[in-house]
Amino acid sequence: MKALHEMGVAELGRALQANQVSSTEITKHLLARVASHEQLGAWLCVDGDAALAQATAADAQRAQGVGGALLGVPLAHKDIFVTRELPTTAGSKMLAGYRSPFDATVVARLAQAGTVTLGKLNCDEFAMGSSNENSAYGAVRNPWDTARVPGGSSGGSAAAVAARLVPAATGTDTGGSIRQPASFSGVTGIKPTYGVCSRYGMIAFASSLDQAGPLARSAEDCALLLSAMSGFDERDATSAQRAPQDFHAQMLAARDTGEAARPLKGLRIGLPAEFFPAALAGDVDGAVRRALAELEKLGATLVDVSLPRTELSIPVYYIIAPAEASSNLSRFDGVRFGHRAAKYTDLLDMYKKTRAEGFGAEVKRRIMIGTYVLSHGYYDAYYLQAQKLRRMIADDFQRCFTQCDLIAGPVAPTVAWKLGDKGDDPVASYLADIFTLPASLAGLPGMSVPAGFGEAGMPVGLQLIGNYFQEGSLLHAAHAFQQATDWHTRAPAGY
């Protein structure tokens, strides 16, 4: 049997089911690894006693004959999900020490499936960032090269999974914050269709874009986790009213061709010309094209398509998302919860000082942008026009899906950059989201699948995008690719 930290969610579930190992053994092993790799900065809170108590309870259930693919499997949560038993900060001083009176729906559902929570993971403040350098509690480092970023905003989740500190973690994706860190850190991540996972208890950044999803070793692991996380929630007005889905079964059943060697026979994969511009780094382009050739070997047909408004997705996103953020973050005013300035003269002064002290530079920047584009005289010129373009971007995808079943391309224009490289130029960081933003604006499901390595041995991810509620097809294609390749099994040196 493999070392416990080398096993993914599905493998651990099978080992637990076969009584080859106990949840308590796995949990102790992983807690020891977490303690020995603090230099990554991936964790904001670890509660070993609570985790071991959950593991003991899971072992007792299995002893009584209770099953379940996730029962007793450890994981961790991005610190954007509120938790009753653990502090929730959203990576911000504004919420330092905050304890929620309830668990987020995603957290509660994974707990109901029997998972063991090791702790909470670092993230960009209020999920605003592409590098995980914006956390008030320090940057997260990429385990493949600790001088580089792990991606963001779910950088703590991606780094912890890549370093084999935990087999899986939750993340959130507003403009690429699951897919981009998954690509930079060499793990698998999926953002489902908007509305598939409840946003209840997920601290809001941009409400029409935020979506929860898992980061794990493989597509199979992601399918198991997404099955537990998803489903209609009456407490979330944006939750899709759909029956519970077994994404693992969909992954195995989708497009069953009967050919073991060509499991993707008949699958049409669209390649948007706009996803392969001249500015795309050569190492990323090479890795992605080799991955596409592998998909062809598996039976898929590559089709040229076009998403003509890809470049417009950056200004559209960076108008809509800050506008929603300026509204959502108005609740952090020092009155009801969170940080409050120690000294102030009146209520307005308290608001000003509290928000000046509690928010970091990137959050302030986005609040200012959002407030500006929503202000009188600018709403029609900026926000309304951005919403119209958002609809056009979604329509472009629908035209593509008349010619193909899935869309493929790179996740980011380059591999992970060095810590501090884009700190003085936020626009450069924003431009790195160009390939992930279109699917987010359209509310479509997307994945990042490890597809090789580029400059300095850094991971490169292949992005797959599906039509609405086609997570099963996405996972099937990713699973077939991972059955034929071993990129997702590679671990950084020393981990």
**Rounded mean pLDDT of 415-439?**
92
Spatial distance between the Cα atoms of 198 and 92, rounded to a whole number of angstroms: 23
Q: Choosing from 131, 153, 230, 239, which is the catalytic residue? A: 153
Which residues share a beta bridge with 189?
A: 215, 448
**Rounded mean pLDDT of 84-93?**
97
Residue 257: the pLDDT is: 61
Q: Where are the domains of the chain?
A: 4-257+472-481
- 77, 120 contact by CB (below 8 A): yes
Q: Which of 54, 34, 170 is nearest to 107 (CA)?
A: 170
Q: Choosing from 177, 218, 326, 448, which is the catalytic residue? A: 177
What's at 109, amino acid-wise? Answer: R
- 160 by DSSP, 3-state: which? helix
Residue 424: the pLDDT is: 80
| Catalytic-residue membership of 153 | yes
Mean pLDDT value across the chain: 96
Q: From the centroid of its chain, how far is CA 489?
A: 19
| Catalytic-residue membership of 177 | yes
Q: How many CB atoms lie within 10 A of CB 20?
A: 11
Q: In CATH, which superfamily holds the domain spanning 4-257+472-481?
A: Amidase signature (AS) domain (3.90.1300.10)
Kindly report whether the peptide bond that precedes residue 473 is cis, defined as omega within 30 degrees of 0.
no
pLDDT value at 426 more than 90: no
pLDDT value at 25 more than 80: yes
- 168 by DSSP, 3-state: which? strand
Q: Choosing from 78, 120, 191, 422, which is the catalytic residue? A: 78
Q: Using the 8-state DSSP alphabet, how is residue 346 labeled? A: S
Angle at 166 between CA 191 and CA 27, to 5 degrees: 135
- H or E element: which one contains 182? helix 179-185
Q: How many CB atoms lie within 10 A of CB 234?
A: 9
Give percent helix, percent strand, percent coil of the chain, each to the nearest 5: 40, 15, 45
Which residues share a beta bridge with 425?
A: none
Q: Which of 43, 41, 89, 52 is nearest to 74 (CA)?
A: 52
Residue 256: the pLDDT is: 61
What is the pTM assigned to this prediction? 0.97
| Catalytic-residue membership of 375 | no
Which residues share a beta bridge with 164?
A: none
Angle at 124 between CA 331 and CA 79, to 5 degrees: 70
Q: Return all residues near 417 (Cβ < 8 A) that are at least 6 apart.
A: 131, 148, 149
Residue 255: the pLDDT is: 60
- Alpha helix (H) residue ranges in 339-410: 347-358, 361-374, 385-400
Question: pLDDT, tens digit, for every residue of 442-465?
Answer: 999 999 999 999 999 999 999 999
Q: From the centroid of its chain, how far is CA 156?
A: 10
CA distances, 93 to each of 38, 97, 102, 311, 339 (Å): 20, 9, 21, 34, 7
- 430, 253 contact by CB (below 8 A): no
Q: Which residue has the tokens 């299995």?
A: 62
Residue 126: the pLDDT is: 98
Residue 78 phi/psi, 5° resolution? Answer: -60, 140
Q: From the centroid of its chain, how far is CA 12?
A: 22
**Rounded mean pLDDT of 387-394?**
98
Q: Which of 351, 84, 85, 328 is nearest to 203 (CA)?
A: 328
Question: pLDDT, tens digit, for every residue of 168-198?
Answer: 999 999 999 999 999 999 999 999 999 999 9
Question: pLDDT, tens digit, for every residue of 402-425?
Answer: 999 999 999 999 999 999 998 888
pLDDT value at 254 more than 80: no
CA distances, 271 to each of 274, 409, 410, 482 (Å): 9, 6, 10, 20
Spatial distance between the Cα atoms of 36 and 308, rounded to a whole number of angstroms: 48
Q: Return all residues near 4 (Cβ < 8 A) that are at least 6 apart.
A: 12, 21, 25, 26, 29, 30
Residue 427: the pLDDT is: 83
Question: pLDDT, tens digit, for every residue of 334-350?
Answer: 998 899 999 999 999 99
